[in-house]
Amino acid sequence: MKINIYYGGRGLIGDPTIYVLNNMQEVLKELNVNVERYDLYEYKNNIITLPQTLKDADGVILATTVEWYGIGGLMLQFLDACWLYGDKEKISAIYMCPIVMSTTYGERDAMMSLTQAWEILGGLPCTGICGYIGDVSELEENVSYSRVIEKRTEDLYRSINQKTAVFPCSNQAVKQKVSFTPGLNLTPQEAAQLSELASDDLYVQKQKEDIQELASMFKDLLNEKEPDNTMFLQEFREHFHPQPGFAAVYKFVFPEMKKPLIVKVDRTEMECYYGESDNVDVEMQVSTDIMSEITAGRMTFQRAFMSGDMKMKGDFKVLRTLDMLYVFS
């Protein structure tokens, strides 16, 4: 018989969950059980590969410590990996004992979360241990607590050894009804290879870079628009209303265009073109659709900014002057 222990706490000195696990391991060794323990904080970069360790397990102990809320991120990552990459057929025959010690509130909710998660995976839950322990010395000095730990450990051993029947529940039906994680029909060998690749940081980074490169290439092919030196230029020239003594340089960046639109205002003179400018007072990011709404008189620059359709950086007073310089109506 083999039982795997997955500990999702931080491994701190005085963690009551560690004390419980150490006692359980001693009892299991006395029962000639092969015990293998995985402290998840030591597998931060490889958690995704751990579902493969379930293959030869007859039972598991999922243990965590509630330090402020819930079962903790490491245990959640492990359970996520079981859902995505675990062999559900194998998990369906594995008994699970939840262990949750709390130094704050919520140990019962956390234990219920572990039980429900294992049921949804299709596994077989056993009676676990949960409790509020403010100081680990409470466990060490109380003989009755040691008896409870020993009794629960023996119950887990007995359930596995006798293959105790577990009533079906609605949580287990979830695996059959909505387990469409989306339809990768992988053999256990393929799942193992996938989880190993997914845990390889260099491989994952290279794949992300390749995807970004392809996405950028196709975006350029689909959305590329060459400035024709006419888009919006005529509108700006026709609706220019000089403001006495005012001068500024505006830069409009359109996601759809390669080059920005530069508008230079110098008192009664105005120049606009597609290109670059060294000195810019206000830079705006806006889509050509919104700019079309503005030049058609259905929206103002300030309203586009206030509604979030246009982003800007620079002097807000200079931005507000745009609606006086250009009256599109």
Predicted TM-score (pTM) of the model is: 0.56
Q: How far apart are CA 118 and CA 107, in angstroms?
A: 17
Neighbours of 44 (CB within 10 A): 10
Of 60, 64, 59, the closest CA to residue 74 belongs to 64
Question: What are the tokens at 29?
Answer: 């060794």
Give the domain ranges of the chain.
2-198, 233-325
Q: How far apart are CA 302 and CA 312, in angstroms?
A: 11
Neighbours of 80 (CB within 10 A): 15
Give me the tens of pLDDT residue by residue for the chain, a chain 329 residues long: 999 999 999 998 889 999 999 999 999 999 999 999 999 999 888 888 899 999 899 999 999 999 988 899 999 999 999 998 888 889 999 999 999 999 888 999 999 999 999 999 999 999 999 999 988 888 888 899 999 999 999 999 999 999 988 887 776 665 555 554 444 555 556 655 666 666 566 766 777 788 878 877 776 665 555 545 678 899 999 999 999 899 999 999 998 888 899 999 999 999 999 998 888 999 999 999 999 999 999 999 988 998 889 998 888 888 889 989 998 87
Q: Can you give the pLDDT at residue 36?
A: 94
Q: In a 3-state reduction of DSSP, which class is residue 106?
A: coil
CATH superfamily of 2-198: Flavodoxin domain (3.40.50.360)
Q: What type of residue is 33?
A: V
Q: Can you give the pLDDT at residue 180?
A: 47
> Positive or negative, the Cα torsion across 219, 223, 229, 232?
negative
Q: Can you give the pLDDT at residue 156?
A: 94
Q: Can you give the pLDDT at residue 165?
A: 87
Q: In a 3-state reduction of DSSP, which class is residue 86?
A: coil
Q: How far apart are CA 94 and CA 125, in angstroms?
A: 8
Overall CATH class of domain 233-325: alpha beta
Q: Can you give the pLDDT at residue 205?
A: 75
Q: How far apart are CA 51 and CA 246, in angstroms?
A: 68
Q: In a 3-state reduction of DSSP, which class is residue 298?
A: coil
Q: How far apart are CA 72 and CA 50, in angstroms?
A: 17
Locus of tokens 């989880």:
195
Neighbours of 189 (CB within 10 A): 8
C-alpha distances in Å from residue 76, one per residue of 62, 64, 136, 203, 270: 11, 10, 25, 23, 60
Q: In a 3-state reduction of DSSP, which class is residue 160?
A: helix
Q: How far is CA 101 from the centre of its chain?
A: 26
CB 240 within 8 A of CB 271: no
Q: Can you give the pLDDT at residue 20?
A: 95
Q: Can you give the pLDDT at residue 193?
A: 64
- State the number of CA atoms in the 13 A half-sphere of 47 facing the CB: 21
Task: Give buried/exposed letters for 129-139 (b at 16+ CB in 10 A, else e).
Answer: bbbebeebeeb
β strands within 220-298, DSSP E: 247-253, 261-266, 269-274, 282-286
Q: What type of residue is 292?
A: S
Q: Please report, in angstroms and rounded to a whole number, the separation of the first and last CA atoms in the chain.
A: 82
